Amino acid sequence: MNLWQRISTPRLMVQIGWLIFANAMIFGLPAFGEIPALRNVFFPDATTKFFQNAPTYSIIYMLQDTLVGDFATFYMGLVIPILIFVTLVLVMGRFWCAWLCPLGLPQDLLTRLRRSLGIKRVNLPPNWSVFLHQMKYLGLFLIIFYTFALGFPHLGLSNFQSSLLLPYELLDPNRAMYVYPQIWMGLLPASTVVPWLSILTFGFFLMTCFPIRRFWCHLCPAGALMAPLNKYAMIHLKKDASKCTHCGICARVCPMEIKKVYTEREQENVTVSVCVHCYRCVESCPEEGCLGVSIMGKVVLESKYPDEISISPEEGVPN
């Protein structure tokens, strides 16, 4: 079995590599941020909303900045980044989520830690999963609506706004997770604001993502932005239903608890809005050529009997 057949290992390497690269951008390659279009995409605020959040959270931040601002940055600060964002999602779907997102890596590491401690995972009841997916759209709507309302001073909502931060920044666990280490390393001034709500959200993130795989991704507003286009992306999961033995492994290994890959009997494209493109299902499917990853019709990865992978009691599949 080659390295790419066992996709979780290179994926972890990419996640760690990206985090190092993205952080290095903050202090190592500031010239990158001097190019206006790139600055808007990658450096909406070079000090705290840094490169590693692009292109997901940055879009929310840019939307907020434009809504409470005077719309002076409407094109360069919002329209162009949104076009880039939509194009990226139509090309690579939610590939960002499993491979690059700074909140995806800690969730995956918490799962690995839990498994190494021999602690069983908690499964979301099916109804909860559906409910949470709907809640993330509601959350995104409230964040945008509240931000929009902040642009109307006579509503008095600005009293509830921190002096520097906009609604999503107050809640974003990224701030507590990554700003504190940067303050400790001397990369950010000690006065950098980390709101207590963000610290609370980070605590919630740790408590929920340790027992439940990728729990935050069920709620994430950036995921809500990408989800509707995921199915239409050039990269997608494909299934040859004639080779499926209905063993159920793909449903059990999926960190997003997706059942469609298992249940689909007709359609070839089995990508759903919540799929984060981790390809755990592909690497774990025991039927050769049953599941695969396709880019514009060209298959780049296929399932193959995972004879070299140890079986974990938790999933009945590889760790």
Binding footprint of ligand SF4 on the chain (CB under 6 A)? 56, 97, 101, 103-104, 216-217, 220, 222-223, 237, 239, 244-250, 253-256, 258, 261-262, 275-281, 285, 287, 290-291
| Pairwise CA distance, residues 115 & 205, whole Å | 18
* Beta strand ranges found along the chain (DSSP E): 235-239, 291-295, 298-302
Residue burial 42-53, b: 16+ Cβ < 10 Å; e: rest = bbbeeebbbbbb
* Residue 45: CB minimum distance to ligand SF4, A: 18
* Residue 301: CB minimum distance to ligand SF4, A: 10
Identify the CA nearest to 73 among candidates 84, 61, 85. 61
* Residue 7 vs 150, nearer CB to ligand SF4: 7
Secondary structure (DSSP) of 115-172: HHTTPPPPPPPHHHHHHHHHHHHHHHHHHHHHHHHHT-GGG-GGGGS-SS--HHHHH-
Both ends of the chain: CA-CA distance in Å? 16
* Residue 179 vs 261, nearer CB to ligand SF4: 261
* Residue 80 vs 247, nearer CB to ligand SF4: 247
On whether the CB atoms of residues 208 and 247 are closer than 8 A, the answer is: no
Residue 225 token pair: 């932005």
Which position's Cβ is nearest ligand SF4?
223
* Residue 109: CB minimum distance to ligand SF4, A: 13
* Residue 43 vs 279, nearer CB to ligand SF4: 279
How long a stretch of residues is the chain?
A: 319
* Residue 73 vs 231, nearer CB to ligand SF4: 231
* Residue 218: CB minimum distance to ligand SF4, A: 8
Identify the CA nearest to 55 among candidates 35, 36, 73, 78. 78
* Residue 89: CB minimum distance to ligand SF4, A: 11
* Residue 184: CB minimum distance to ligand SF4, A: 23
* Residue 22 vs 150, nearer CB to ligand SF4: 22
Helix (H, G, I), strand (E, B) or coil at 41: helix
